[in-house]
Structures are given as structure tokens and as C-alpha cells.
Chains A and B, each alone.
Chain A
Amino acid sequence: MSTDKLNQNNFSKGTDFAVILLYFIMVAIGILCIFMVEYNPSANWSSSFITGKNNYSKQIYFAIFCAFVGIFILLMDSKVFTALANILYGGGILLMIATFVIGKNINGSKSWIPIAGGFNLQPAEVCKIFTALILAKFISRPETDFTKLKNHLIAGAMIALPAILSIAQHEMGLALVYSAFIFAMYREGLPPAILIVLLSFAVLVIATLLLEPTVLAIILTAIAVLFISSMIKRFKKNRNNILIVLSIWAICFGTVRFAVPYIFNNVFECYQSTRIYSMVGKEYDCGANKKSAAASGKSHGKKPDDYNVKQSKIAIGSGGFSGRGFLKGTQTRGKYVPEQHTDFIFTSLGEAFGFIGTSIFLGLYLFFLFRLIRIAERQRSTFSRVYAYSVVGIFFFHIAVNISMTIGLFPVVGIPLPLISYGGSSLLTFTVLVFILLRLDADRQMVLR
């Protein structure tokens, strides 16, 4: 009885209601957006809200279910999460492996496990939570010194495992999400040098796509020569430095000349390479793609599929400053944007409410993220903080990548917009992520192990 009472107190006292409010606003916006996509003036929408046949009514049921899950989590003991982190992670990984056997094929990726009532669960989606928990648990161990490379590698492996499994399930987008944990790791002591190296590497890859190989090689060499000549005195003292510069140059050169073409031609599918190339406004020659050529001979001359992005940009762009108005979006009504209720849900908002709508919406998200960061920073327990940053990272990554791809700043990868996109798995995952954080936050005075 007394523990119940204690929980009860904690529930009302420590819970961050701003986040809960934001959460509900987001879910409501999501349902509204899905409604705009599905709206058909000839059908009686008020009755179809209840029938559950439309996606928006399904989403309402998902939201109600998620609300119960949220309350349930808030009523749980926060120690449960530290205690179960390892088991949950293990179970999640096992589920992911299990999908290879019992998985159901939806939209070309065999990553779904059918559960009761016609609903399907995507373990890779849920695994994000477990990874966040185990990462938090690992870093918060007193014996973990997160300045050490060894621990960085262990943490990296924990993150990489589900990511690799996702790639194996052809869920490139989900795999990419795991890179969001870099925020948490960075916050806990990952040297900034690693970030800088990663960033420069990204710049190098983009440059590879943009520039002619020879031009890029000349630029790289020029930079190396400039660097050496400007610091020629230092290099005279220590010959090793020259070697370092030269080896960096060699690595860059190798990346440009061999690694990037190899990845595009042999690792990525043809359509993936095409999407990435189309981002920088270039056409990818699928004939060079060994993987798709091996998979099927007919894939030669596949048409570049920037249709999605084009239509998505048209829809958002046609919203203009103030939008076409609720339910008046012509592109939404005409179903010009593929997958509009899931990954491209942002387009319906952009078309209906224009720049005013999208900027307010992004403002809400930003406020939400900063609020989460504030929560993270006020934790006494490392576990809570690492977990909080993981949540921030996952949310931010989803938001940034999803919106970027709808407005043509990022290749199309199947990543939903948190709390907005249609889909039970996704909504449930984000709900659980947020509410576990709220539960931990409610106990922020406690130090969890």
C-alpha cells in the first residue's frame, strides 16, 4: 500500500507534464494529417472514424492503446528498466533474428512479425528502445570509463548489432537510426575528434559524388601539399607528422577512388545508389551496379525514382506561405505523393498549412527536443541521462532525416516522422521511449544503477 502511495505521489509530482502535453499535441496533429490524406468528400468521415477501416481511425486506436501503455509505464518502478535492460536487449535481438524465419514480407522488407488482430510488429523498431536501455546501462556501470576506446568500441558494437540486422532485413532507414546514439555517446565522453573525423568523412563522400574523381584527387593533393608546406618547420622537427599527413591523404584518396565506388556499386542496391545520386542532382548508372546486375538481369536501365521526392516537394512547395487550407490540398486529395500517410506525412501538413504551418510545427518539435535535453541534463543518474540523450538522438534523427527527405535534402529512406506518421509500431516505440524517460525523470533524485 505504502509503495503504491509513493508511486502515486511520484506520478503526479515528478512527471514532466509539458512533455506529456507536447506528446498529445503531436499525436493529435498526426491523426489530423492522416485524416487529411485519407479524406474523401464523398464518404461519411464521421462514421468511418469509429469503424476502424481507415488509417486515421486505426491510428486513433493505436493512440488510445499507446496512452494506456504510457500510463502503465508511468506506474512502473523505474528500477525495472535498469534491471531488465540486458534481457530486453537480448530478447529484441532474438526477435530480430526470428524475423528471418517467421517474418512477414511487407513492402519488400521481411522485418515484420504478425501478431494478433491483423497487426504486425517490427522488432527492429522496438529494438531501438532496448538498445537505448542497454547503452544507458553499460555506460552507467561504475566500472565503465567512457573515455576509453575499448568501451567506445563495446558501446559501438551494442549499437551496431541491431543496425546490421536491420540492413540484412533491407531496412536501411531503421539501420541508419542507430547512428543517433552518437549523441548520447558524445555527451558521455566520446572525443569530439571522432565527430570531426566522421564529419569530414561525410564531406569527403559527398564531394566524391559531386566532383569528378580527378578533380577531387587534385584538390586533395593540393590540400596535403599546402598543409605540409605551411607547417614545413614543424615537420622538419618530427618526420612522423609528414607520414601522418601522407597516410591521411592516402586514406582520403582511397576512399574517393575505391571505397565509395565500391560501396555504391557493390553494397548498395541500384535504387539506393540512384536515390543518393539524385540528391546531388546526378544520375546513377545502374549498369555499374554489380549487386542488382547479379540479382536480376533485367534491372538494366531502371528509371530513376526521384518521383517521390519530386511530388513531395511539389506538394510542400504548393502550400506557399499560408497553405491551401485544411482538406484543400490538391496534391493530397489527388494522392500524388506516394506513402503520404506514413513516411511523407509532412507533405500533407506543408500543403495544407504552408510555411506558417511547417515552421510552427518544426518549432514544436524543436521545443520538444530542447525540453528533452533539459530533462536529460537534470538527471542525477547517468543511466537516466544516457537514456534521455538516446531518446533525443532517436527523435532528432527521425525528424531531421524524415523532413529532409521530403524537402529534397536527403535521399529517400523509409523513416517515419515520430508521433505523426501512420503506423502502430512506430507510434508505440516513440511512446514507450518518451514515457520511460518520463518515468525515469520522475525519479530524477534517485541514482539508478
Chain B
Amino acid sequence: MALYNSNRGGIIQIIIGVIFLILIGQLINIQIFSTKYTLAADNNAIYRKIIYPDRGIIYDHKKRALLENTISYDLVVIPNEAKGVDTTTLCEILKISKEEYAKRMIEVIVKNSRVKAGVFEPFLSTELYAQLTENLYRFPGFSLTERSIRSYPYNTAAHVLGYVAEVDVNFLQKHGEEGYEMGDYAGMTGLEKQYEEVLMGQRGVKRYLRDNKGKIQGAFEKGQFDTLAIAGRNLYTGMDVEVQQLAEKLLTNKVGSAVVINPKTGSIIAMASSPGYNPNLLTGSQRRKTIGRLLLDTARPIYNRAIKGQYPPGSTFKPMGALIALDEGLITPSYGYNCFGSYGACGDPRKCEHHNAGHAANLQLALANSCNSYFLQVFRMAIDNPKYHNAKLGYLKWKEYVNSFGLGRKLGIDLPSENKASIPDTARYNKDFGNPKFWNSCYMLTLGIGQDRMTATPLQLANAMALIANEGYYYTPHFVDSVEEEDEHDKEILAKYRTKQEVTKISSDIFKIIKEGMHDVTVYGTAAFIKVPGHEYCAKTGTAQNPHGKNHSLFVCFAPKDNPKVAVAVVVENAGFGATWAGPIGGLLMEKYLNDTLTPESKLKADNLSKVDLLPQAIKDWYVRNNKSSYMAPIEYNNDELGDVWDMEMLPGEAIPKIKKVDSPITKLDTAKSTPPASPVAPPAKPKPNKETNLPQKPKKKKAKILNNVNRQA
């Protein structure tokens, strides 16, 4: 029988063999042909920890840190280990309800699974941190982790510095190959965005072996696949914190902007945009509370008016109009225009603020008195220049000049989203007026006095001043002078800020004439009452009509007259005369930069100016309707904790007539000021009633007008 069945041994062997072949087949399948298991294994076991280097610091020209890194703590939780948590205490400390606790826990689980640590409460305040560390033993599964966040010791330059924020899906799509991951932070605006590569440094990756409970078992492969984190490099800007703070302070409760440039280098000393916000409001735990409100605010505090705001330059354009005509040989400095208060050569007469004879007897006088007629005439001469046969070609030449001054094009500042404002194209006028044959200089006459379709950003205006100050060249305005440990790439980027932009062939003699005219503005012209102690300066006021309400107040200037070290442009929206509001602000900024301090009188003037409320009624109404306080609040300099940097440095030990009644300083000032420059102080002191009501603006404006007249006569 055994013999009979002996072949069955073979059959059994075959069965065994077949089954083994099946096993081998499946092993080939999962070990050789499937890659997904290796991936799944790495997902399981290799924990990539990204080591974030400290972001680079941004310094001003005196090596004061405009922003710093500080440590913030997050409360993180591993849901699986959070058993037996004293939820009552935890909820009490965090001031959340139990439902909120459960909700957050679910969020963490959804985001990071049960076994991995997820953020339960980010950016703990110091008290919260202290309370939690004390009680942490009651909350198994919870722990505190560090995270580096930005802080701004001077509470200033929010628009310039920008902010960092967690990257979103859009960002990741755009920067897919740069190694960002969900949860990373990146510069979103301002210098933080522009110099993201430099500031970010290089993130390191450490690979750890993780067990099935998410616990780290040690370095993966002894760390041979790890990369080191390289700290972000610092940026050295040409900014001056104190000037920046002063600019922001002066613009408090106003809508507008100020730009201060060093014409010798193109470095921006200060750039303020108002309303602004305290940059500390957009870091850490503050951010969540603030960002939405800032974005909704009708006064647009996040909007950087210095590079995005488009204002008709008004009279501040006049020096440039003169430059063109001089260079084209259309006029000589002695050219005069007999203006009697209006310009009627194009029909419909255009008003001039002056009607006394001879106020535009030559270029210098015309500039000093800001004669509209004169510059309208000069503009027409440039457009209808017989050299160019027709108005269109003349206009093109004129536009070429204006563009070369930096208007109507992007200057290339190292901030994102600069606006080029507008010097209209001929196409624009062709469209407006039909065939180019049918239009001439009269059609866009007011371009000559910086109106019509002409707009410029405060930055462009400041840069134009630098151009005039330098007599024909400028350096592209920029913040960053140098980068720590500059490499070739950085040099390449910064190269354009280090090359002289020689944009016109206009001789320096011609510039000198313009400078003289602008100097006269400050001696007996529209800005005569604004003085910079110890320095002669050149300036031009502007009062720009605009379709959105009251005139914008503009002021452009540079100082000292010989060897200029600073160029400034100031715009205060809907404020009225240039000399009244923008002028004093510009003067104080120059004084602060050139003298490094303000005289007590100037200090007082600055205090008073900062209290003046020139917010348009519409914005105020909006605040009332929405029951919100204005966002200019961040630039409160009586903040005890941070030390009143500005005040203390300005007036050491002096009894500051701080927030006295607004009236008293004025009288005090008037008496004090009765010394050399008799008039200058009065106008800025006047506006006190505005603080409560914006009604009395009219009388004040009249006064300013009267004052101007007085000045002119003087």
C-alpha cells in the first residue's frame, strides 16, 4: 500500500513548492515592484524636524535694531497622551470653555493626528506662560515649545518692515521649489518680503527615528542625512529710527505720508504712512486679533501711501517744469511772465494765488511765489516747442523729461508693490480728445502745475528732490545699504542701488538756478516761515486740487542748500495749503535729521502738530459707526514700558509742557518765538480747535492764506 501511494510524496512536494512560489511571488511584488511601502515606512518612522534659524535683524544707520527676534511659547498637545487632564484648571487659565477645549482638541487631531504634537494655543503671553509652567504637571500630554517671533522695540516703521505670517496654500504654490512647508513663516510685505531669502537663512533638517507612539528614538542613520540651519543674515538700512518715529508722530491723526531720503546715497532715512499701525500688533498672539480689523479699517492703515499713494504733485512739480524749459532753451532764468492773478491764454482763465505785479518777473521770483501763470506758460512753451513740429511730439519730449526725473515710472525701491503713479501717455489724450492733431498744450494745460492727470507718489517726489539736490543724478531710493556677509547674489541685487542714475543731461548751472529759486521759497516765498535752525534749505510747497475733497497739502524740500544731505517729501491729504501742514512737518524732519535733535521750540511745535486732527470726516464717521478707535493709536509715545524714546532723547531733563491744554503752548510759543523768525510758528499752532471738531478748518485756512500774503510781502 505504501508503495502504491509513493507518488503522493511527489504530489505533496509539488503542492508545497507551488505554495512557496506564491509566497515568493508576493514577496517580489511587495519588496521589489512596490515603492509605496518604502514611502509609507519613511512616513511612519522618519520624523523630519525642521530647524528654523533665527531670521536676520534689520538695523538702522546707527545700528539700532528696528526689529528683533523674541521667543514666544506655544502650548502643544499630543492628544493621545492627554489623559487625566485637569481640564477645569486648564480652561480657567486659558479662559476658554470646556466646549472650546473639546473643539480645539478635535482640531488638533484633525490637523496632526492623535500621536503627534499639535498647537493647542499659540503665542502665550508671559503671564500665561508662567501659569502654565507652574501647572503643567496637571496636564499630561501638554507641553510648551519655543518659537521665534518678531518684535519691534521702537514700535515703528510698520509699513517699511512689513510682517511675517504663516504661509498659505497660494504661497506654497508660488514658492513650491523653495522648500516651504505648511506651518512655515515667511515675509509677506515690506522688507521682510523683499529680502526674504536673506533674512530667512537656511533651514536645517534633522531626521529622527520615531516609534509607533510618536516618540523620538534617536537620530536617523546617526544624522548623516541632516543639514544644518544657517541663521538669516542681517540687513543694514540707512534708516534713522528717531526720524522715522518723528515722521510717524507728526502724521498722527492725519492721512498722508512722508519720505526722507539721503540724496548722496539714495538711502531712505524715514518713510511714514499714516494712518499706520504698531508693528507689534501683527506679531504673536496680537496678530489674530488685529489683522482682520486692520484690513477692514476704512482708513487703510496697512496701505503704504509713501509708495502706493498717488497724489497730484501740484506746485511741487513746478521746479521740474522749469528745468525742462531751461534745458530746452525755451526760457532763461531771467524770463518773466506778467501775471495779474490768472492765466487766460487758453480761454477759461486759470487762477494764480498772486496778483501783485512782478511776482513772476523772473524764474526765481516765480518759483518763490509759486506763480501758476508762469508755469502754465512754461508748460505750453515746452509742449508747443517749434522744434518738435506738433504738440504730440512736444508732449512726448516733455514726458521723457518728466519720466527721467523719476515720475510716472517705478523707481525700483526695495519694497514690494511700488506704484508707478501716472504721467499720462499721449494715447490717453488721443483717446480723450480724439486725433492727436486736434489737441494742443491747452488741452492738458494744468499738467504744468502738477495737476490734470499727473500723479506721483511721495517717494517719487522725494526722489525728484534728491535729483535736484544732486544737480542731475540720483541713487535709486532704497532701504538696505548692505547685507551681512554679502555674497555675489546680494551684490547683484544691491548693485542697482549703488550706481548713480544719471538721468538728464541738464547742466548743473541750470540746477543751480532752480535751487536758488527753491531757496527763495524758504526765504521770502511760500515757505518763508518754516525754518531749519542752522541750515539754509530749498523747498517747494504744493496745494494740490483733487477730486476727493479738500486740497492735499504737499511739501518737498532738501537741505542744506549747498551740499544737500537730506531730501524730503510730505503729503497730507485733504489738509489744505502745503505750507500750513506738510511744510512744518518737512521742516521738522530736516531739522531732526541734520541736527540730530530738535530745539525745544521745534519739539513743542512737533507735539502740537502731532495733536492736530486732520482726518477726513468720512473716516471719522466710519469709526463712530463701527465703534472703533482709530489705529493711529499704536504710535503713542507716552508708552511707559518702552520708554518714551523720542521724548527722552529729545528733551533730556527738561520740563516738557506735555499734554497741557492745547491753547497754552500757543500763547507761550508766540511769546517765545518773538525772536528772529517772527511768523513761522503761528500756523502750526493754530489748528488746535480741530481736535474736537473739524469745523473750524475754514477760518484757519483763511488765516493761513492771510499769513502767506503777509510773508510774501515781507
Chain B CB within 10 A, most for which of A330, A376, A389: A330
B37/A313 in contact, CB under 8 A: yes
Say if the beta carbon of A348 comes within 8 Å of chain B.
no
Bound complex: CA A200 to CA B17 (Å):
20
What residue in chain A is nearest B220 (Cβ atoms)? A330
What residue in chain A is nearest B221 (Cβ atoms)? A328
A355/B28 in contact, CB under 8 A: yes
Across the A-B interface, how many residue pairs have beta carbons closer than 8 Å?
129
The stretch from B8-16, B193-201, B404-412, B648-656 touching chain A is B8-16
Which of B6, B11, B31, B218 is A355 in contact with, Cβ under 8 Å? B31
Which residues from B are CB-within-8-Å of A313?
30, 37
Bound complex: CA A314 to CA B12 (Å):
32
Which residues from B are CB-within-8-Å of A189?
1, 5
Which of A315, A330, A358, A396 is B209 in contact with, Cβ under 8 Å? A330
What residue in chain B is nearest A389 (Cβ atoms)? B12
| B-facing residues in A291-339 (Cβ within 8 Å) | 311, 313-321, 328, 330-331, 333-336
Say if the beta carbon of B24 comes within 8 Å of chain A.
yes
Say if the beta carbon of A448 comes within 8 Å of chain B.
no
B26/A385 in contact, CB under 8 A: no
- Classify chain B: how many residues form its interface, as a range: 35 or more
B38/A318 in contact, CB under 8 A: yes
Which residues from B are CB-within-8-Å of A382?
2
> Closest CB of chain A to B158's CB: distance in Å?
47
Say if the beta carbon of A354 comes within 8 Å of chain B.
yes
Which of A186, A351, A354, A366 is B8 in contact with, Cβ under 8 Å? A186
Bound complex: CA A337 to CA B117 (Å):
22
> Closest CB of chain A to B20's CB: distance in Å?
5
Bound complex: CA A186 to CA B27 (Å):
29
Bound complex: CA A284 to CA B330 (Å):
95
- Classify chain A: how many residues form its interface, as a range: 35 or more
> Closest CB of chain B to A253's CB: distance in Å?
29
B17/A358 in contact, CB under 8 A: no
| B-facing residues in A321-378 (Cβ within 8 Å) | 321, 328, 330-331, 333-336, 350-351, 354-355, 358-359, 362, 365-366, 369-370, 373, 376-377
Contact string, A144-174, partner B, CB cutoff 8 A, digits 1/0?
Answer: 0011000000000000000000000000000
Which residues from B are CB-within-8-Å of A370?
13, 16
Q: Say what secondary structure dominates the interface of chain A.
A: helix
Bound complex: CA A314 to CA B220 (Å):
18
Which residues from B are CB-within-8-Å of A385?
2
Which residues from B are CB-within-8-Å of A365?
20
> Closest CB of chain B to A233's CB: distance in Å?
33
Say if the beta carbon of B217 comes within 8 Å of chain A.
yes
Bound complex: CA A377 to CA B6 (Å):
8
Bound complex: CA A308 to CA B30 (Å):
16
Which residues from B are CB-within-8-Å of A186?
8, 11-12
Which residues from A are CB-within-8-Å of B36?
317
* A330-B44, A334-B212, A392-B12 known; A400 vs B19 contact (CB < 8 Å): yes
Which residues from B are CB-within-8-Å of A147?
1
The stretch from A6-14, A23-31, A115-123, A403-411 touching chain B is A403-411
Which residues from B are CB-within-8-Å of A146?
1
B27/A359 in contact, CB under 8 A: yes
Which residues from A are CB-within-8-Å of B26?
404, 407-409
Bound complex: CA A328 to CA B220 (Å):
9
Say if the beta carbon of B563 comes within 8 Å of chain A.
no
Say if the beta carbon of A281 comes within 8 Å of chain B.
no
Which residues from A are CB-within-8-Å of B11?
186
Say if the beta carbon of B210 comes within 8 Å of chain A.
yes
A42/B218 in contact, CB under 8 A: yes
* A355-B31, A400-B19 known; A187 vs B209 contact (CB < 8 Å): no
A336/B38 in contact, CB under 8 A: no
> Closest CB of chain B to A344's CB: distance in Å?
13
Say if the beta carbon of A38 comes within 8 Å of chain B.
no
Say if the beta carbon of B22 comes within 8 Å of chain A.
yes
Which residues from B are CB-within-8-Å of A407?
23, 26-27, 30
B16/A330 in contact, CB under 8 A: no
Say if the beta carbon of A188 comes within 8 Å of chain B.
yes
Say if the beta carbon of A41 comes within 8 Å of chain B.
yes
A358/B27 in contact, CB under 8 A: yes
Which residues from A are CB-within-8-Å of B110?
none
Which residues from A are CB-within-8-Å of B1?
146-147, 188-189
5 CB contacts below 8 A, A to B, read: A188-B5, A314-B41, A331-B45, A369-B16, A382-B2
Chain B interface (Cβ < 8 Å from any Cβ of A): 1-2, 5-6, 8-9, 11-13, 16-17, 19-20, 22-24, 26-28, 30-32, 34, 36-38, 40-42, 44-46, 209-212, 217-218, 220-221
Chain A interface (Cβ < 8 Å from any Cβ of B): 41-42, 146-147, 183, 186-189, 311, 313-321, 328, 330-331, 333-336, 350-351, 354-355, 358-359, 362, 365-366, 369-370, 373, 376-377, 382, 385, 389, 392, 396, 400, 403-404, 407-409
Top 3 A-B residue pairs of the complex, sorted by shortest distance between their CB atoms:
A317-B37, A318-B41, A330-B45
Known: A189-B5, A334-B44. 12 other contacts (CB 8 A): A183-B12, A319-B31, A331-B41, A331-B44, A336-B41, A336-B211, A351-B41, A355-B31, A362-B27, A373-B9, A392-B16, A407-B30
